[in-house]
Copies of this chain bind each other. A is one copy, B any other.
Amino acid sequence: MPLRVVEVHQSILRKNATLAQDLRERFQRNGTYVINLLSSPGAGKTTLLEETLRRLGRRYRVAALVGDQATDRDAERLRRSGAPVEQIVTGAECRLDAQMITAALRGFAAADAELLAIENVGNLICPAEYDLGEDLRVVVFSTTEGEDKPLKYPLAFATAHVVVVSKTDLSGAAGFDRQTAKANIERIHPGIEIVELSALRGDGMDEWIEFLDRHIASKRVLV
């Protein structure tokens, strides 16, 4: 990369870190638990999030922000869960950043929710560099994508707090090798928790909801 580009990029990331810290303090004050979902296009983030908001919406005031390069289809889908949802159209940008989150929360009636889920742009590279002030970074990775994705997109897996292996209902048809995938995840991020599920069929969803519930509860004790 030419020096000027590197400098601009670093200055963007520095500015993002400052804004993300402001967001984190604000979420802390409001008692908002924030999750940031990263994945490839089509890994099943929206289906997972719709069901997650529906289930956790019975216990918490939930809300969602969703980033997309174009269209508000995901926001429409997420609204079926009953949660308030705000769409962020990112245009040419390949990720959400802390500034976009700050702007989206302005005037968003559900900005003080107890659980705020952020669905990032479908991309395993760019979003990994941008802290959004989240408590939990989730990387979702479907059984149809191949076992090598953790090795090929290491930053996303290295910075995540939990890996969701999605679309387990398709693992047989896709010839997904679960042990190799787990070994690849372990190589990039030793000891990281892995949740396997099919949001469509419901397999593993109870474990996922319990996992989130435990993390939300432990933050609420601290507040």
A interface residues (Cβ-Cβ under 8 A, vs B): 1, 4-5, 8, 12, 40-42, 68-71, 73, 92-94, 121-126, 129, 142, 144-146, 148-149, 151-155, 167, 169-170, 173-174
Contacts and interface: CB of A to CB of B under 8 A. Distances in A.
A2 to B, nearest CB: 8
11 contacts: A4-B8, A8-B8, A40-B40, A41-B145, A68-B152, A69-B153, A69-B155, A71-B148, A94-B126, A144-B144, A144-B167
Contacts of A70: 151-154
Contact of A71 (B94, B151, B167): B151
Nearest to A149: B41
Contacts of A145: 41-42
A152 B76 CA distance: 13
A77 to B, nearest CB: 9
Which of A41, A142, A146, A169 has the most chain B CB atoms closer than 10 A to its own CB?
Answer: A41
A93 B40 contact: no
Nearest to A47: B146
